[in-house]
Structure 1
């Protein structure tokens, strides 16, 4: 019972601690509890080069092979392999070294001791846009970042070497799809999958912006694996789901493309997209591919001229100057559907479209300005390429099949702030997994959630406390009821008739004490049966040692009129259901029954027989200690308390003269210490076999007064 109550009282505290710790520590819970298994996102530092023949693009350095060979590549969210340029790609160039430099460096497979050739296969991706070519594939070691940058390095990853011109620079693919060279039963994992399996990143996710050479002194690209950089974009609440085609899954609806009107009196912008379309976001290619009707609207608005030979919108110096002076903004409105719903707007300045193409791109003989807009033959070619991602921040979580597009933030003083995107195993309930208006605190609890948890915890604690108090009271009432019922049964069996009411000034022995408070006699607790007293003078003071033959006084406990039952000491014995209640200094013993008959012995007296059963069922020697009963303390006319009345009745009706014999007892209410002489201690069992006892010896070692009543103590 006490243990159960104790645990119940501890439960509310435990629940409160659990609730508070959960509410206040939810943000850090994943990192603290899984610090050894859940890593932080990786920010891949770009190199400081602007590469490409179709524009100036911020590239990333890779370390490939053994020993390491340095190559620069562009990032692709569509590719799922690492592509590098083989030396054969520069064999036809007038200067192979210049060609290798412009292509970001070449990789010599023969110089790598870890290159394990698989075979020649098509490049496959971007075939719908007219890109073609093949590559020699094999397994080799690939590390991210330049030498000394301590980027992750993986062994046995897929590397494809090509020599075609369609992909001029190498490609670092971050798509997690596996490569199936022979059959679908033996796929080769992608670089992103290996990073996640080897615990380099928290999830298969990535975020990217292409960088903008025209911003400030040139803002480099940003690539984060396993999360995103919060400092790079303006958050929004638009969350996109993957499309059904896994070859083109990051599809958005372009609801409108608008540029400000050149007519000053008309505040309405010019619509450059006649009808909404779905487009694929793909940073593998540089241009924006739109329907022919949209391209014609661009031509009419900006004076563009389409070159059929190169299939590019080449811009001469005059038009370039006019467009630079005008500096129009072009705003793309994106949504999940072709109309309605939540949308996000991405605004691009004209500088984002002011690109330069070089030979041999698209068969160009000379370097020329060009506007990165391409005519799409059908809806499978509608694409938003790297031009669009100069001003847009693009994050994809393949674990949750969600992605986000946000406007880039151009703050030179912003500090990098990486945020992990959750994996499926970490957040099954998450439908997002991409940055949005609430993403910076997506791992935290809102104020309403915290308040709800706290209120719920408090309510639960109050309920538990109430149940605990009710349970304790219920058990206490039940225990008290059982005790009262038990005491009631005992009184019916053992308690003799109550004596008439008398006053303290009229003691049982007939000697006045000077007290006038009215009290009621308490039935004497059942005791043993010593021999009758030697004379009548002691009869009034021997109530504690009542005889089985009766004391001769009417109503005295222990007389033949008192009922008795068979007790623990054999046939004819009686039992006592309740022990006497000890008072200070009285040395009260447990009350039991005495045997019937002439030779019955008292088991209440200190001279009781040795065969009496102890509480622990072991035989022990009983020693009687000499002493007397303390006298009642004068209450100065106050009504006695219940406790004091009980103590008084114990003294009076157990045969002790309550007349004050000591000034200390009267005035202080405290007895002087009882002095015990060792020689006065008598072993009770030494008289166990005696048929009769000497009354004087008995009185010398019981609670009775000696014949000399003038003394205030039993023993001097």
Structure 2
């Protein structure tokens, strides 16, 4: 990434219980405003950053930076500021990113979570990463259209250095777009799909001329991720309908569907990462007060009734939806089972993961148009993307600063300070994203709307969970 940006402080308004007559104010929040930041891809493609990133940092109260004149400035972080003002009961959130197409409304609750978005037993971790045991292909209803197999389930696709793996540490990261997995894993998955690897973007492009393409993305075919959870195994299924994403002009000459598996080599500092593509189908939560991280299956378009719950400052568990449906039942009206005579014959020449330019070149690619919002909320380098634009490729950079920990005191308002942001950019994970600390005690939960009032839970406490809703 290279170009210019400047930091400033802003006031955010929270309306208590969704009541516009009960405003609360978060003052001095750090905001980084783009003033011509450009992201470059390996193959020569580039785009100008114009999409905002809302920070959910829980690791500290303040963001510090040095201005061009050498002065030291700082601003507040949103979650800890809301917590310190008794607007939320804990430095926590519950997130389901959702999807634009198929339409699944996103959910973000500050200081709580919507239990209807958590339809399996939550996987709990004391660290920012989770233990991924395996990746599989499955077909929950009807016939299979996967290539090179007649089976409805293909296991053992988690591979590292040419061999099956018994497990890897992996980080869920809404601030990045793709699924950053071992090259051997991406290729093993791609072997059963009508896709080809494209080095210009380090992702796989769908072969839309293959009959298997439309069959796979329109029926209950899924990529299944199996995680270790206190001695048991929990699985999160991501339908391929959510993994049929699109590059568009001016990154490409026209709409170009892609499968968002991006080959990545992990190190002790830079883990494998599951970005927004995965989190369309997963529920993610974090309580910075107790350093607990939660991951679970999220529903499809057939959502349950909203049920917002608070996360207390001492909570170490979350309760999922009551009488939760199977993930597949929340997709029944959207994904139709294939009949046996509608499936595609296995194609020995497709899905090999071989390199393909697919007509894309650096000379034909300039940038990407992905919205009109230009404000980037920053918290110690931890960026969380909440503009749910699943059809765009927007891989922001991030550094090795954890996302949630520490609690230094802060309360200041500064004038905007210009700062230059310049350096190489690789649209891929960097270092760890979460942080750890013992935060300060207890406030009550409430909900915050972004575009309209939303009724809240009854509570006998000062505050309630705060929901941030978004408009497409």
TM-score bracket for the superposition, by shorter chain length = 0.5 to 0.7
Per-residue deviation, residues 145-178 of structure 1 (Å, max 9, x unmatched): 9996977542221111013244441011011233
1:238 aligns with 123
| 1:400 partnered with 2:290 | yes
The structural deviation recorded for 1:381 is: 4.9
Per-residue deviation, residues 411-448 of structure 1 (Å, max 9, x unmatched): 8473322111111xxx3xx5x1444589x9xxxxxxxx
1:258 aligns with 136
Which of 296, 300, 304 pairs up with 1:414? 304
Supply the distance in 1 between the matched residues of 2:308 and 2:179 (Cα, whole angstroms).
29
Is residue 56–residue 78 contact of structure 2 (8 Å, CA) maintained in 1? yes
1:310 aligns with 201
Go from structure 1 to structure 2 and tell me whether the alpha carbon gap of 1:133 and 1:417 turns closer, same or farther (over 3 Å shift): farther
| 1:280 partnered with 2:152 | no
Size of the aligned set, in residue pairs, is 288
Is residue 158–residue 190 contact of structure 1 (8 Å, CA) maintained in 2? yes
Which of 168, 173, 181 pairs up with 1:290? 181
The structural deviation recorded for 1:332 is: 0.4
> Does the residue aligned with 1:302 lie in a helix, a strand or coil?
coil
The structural deviation recorded for 1:200 is: 0.9
TM-score, structure 2 as length reference: 0.55
Supply the distance in 2 between the matched residues of 1:186 and 1:168 (Cα, whole angstroms).
24
Per-residue deviation, residues 210-245 of structure 1 (Å, max 9, x unmatched): 113344xx2210000001111222141532112xxx
The structural deviation recorded for 1:318 is: 1.1
Which of 325, 329, 347 pairs up with 2:222? 329
1:369 aligns with 257
Is residue 356–residue 367 contact of structure 1 (8 Å, CA) maintained in 2? yes
| 1:161 partnered with 2:33 | yes
> Does the residue aligned with 1:356 lie in a helix, a strand or coil?
strand
Go from structure 1 to structure 2 and tell me whether the alpha carbon gap of 1:150 and 1:213 turns closer, same or farther (over 3 Å shift): farther
2:391 aligns with none
- Larger strand share, 1 or 2: 2
Give unmatched runs, 5+ long, in structure 2: 40-48, 139-143, 160-164, 325-472
Is residue 203–residue 226 contact of structure 1 (8 Å, CA) maintained in 2? yes
Give unmatched runs, 5+ long, in structure 1: 1-130, 243-249, 441-716
Matches within 5 A, 1:519-538: none
> Does the residue aligned with 1:239 lie in a helix, a strand or coil?
strand
Matches within 5 A, 1:215-614: 215=102, 218-236=103-121, 238-242=123-127, 250-260=128-138, 262=146, 266=151, 269-274=154-159, 275=165, 276-319=167-210, 320-324=213-217, 327-335=220-228, 341-360=231-250, 363-379=251-267, 380-410=270-300, 412=302, 414-423=304-313, 427=314, 430=315, 432-435=316-319
1:209 aligns with 96
Per-residue deviation, residues 674-706 of structure 1 (Å, max 9, x unmatched): xxxxxxxxxxxxxxxxxxxxxxxxxxxxxxxxx
Go from structure 1 to structure 2 and tell me whether the alpha carbon gap of 1:168 and 1:255 turns closer, same or farther (over 3 Å shift): farther
Is residue 149–residue 192 contact of structure 2 (8 Å, CA) maintained in 1? no
> Does the residue aligned with 2:209 lie in a helix, a strand or coil?
helix
Go from structure 1 to structure 2 and tell me whether the alpha carbon gap of 1:395 and 1:280 turns closer, same or farther (over 3 Å shift): same
Is residue 116–residue 320 contact of structure 2 (8 Å, CA) maintained in 1? no
> Does the residue aligned with 2:65 lie in a helix, a strand or coil?
coil
The structural deviation recorded for 1:304 is: 1.7
Supply the distance in 2 between the matched residues of 1:164 and 1:149 (Cα, whole angstroms).
38
> Does the residue aligned with 1:310 lie in a helix, a strand or coil?
coil
CA RMSD of aligned residues (A): 3.2
> Does the residue aligned with 1:345 lie in a helix, a strand or coil?
strand
> Does the residue aligned with 2:295 lie in a helix, a strand or coil?
strand
- Larger helix share, 1 or 2: 1
Go from structure 1 to structure 2 and tell me whether the alpha carbon gap of 1:374 and 1:132 turns closer, same or farther (over 3 Å shift): farther
Which of 166, 170, 179 pairs up with 2:52? 170
Go from structure 1 to structure 2 and tell me whether the alpha carbon gap of 1:316 and 1:238 turns closer, same or farther (over 3 Å shift): closer
The structural deviation recorded for 1:388 is: 0.9
Per-residue deviation, residues 339-389 of structure 1 (Å, max 9, x unmatched): x823321011110101111234xx434321111111113341511111111
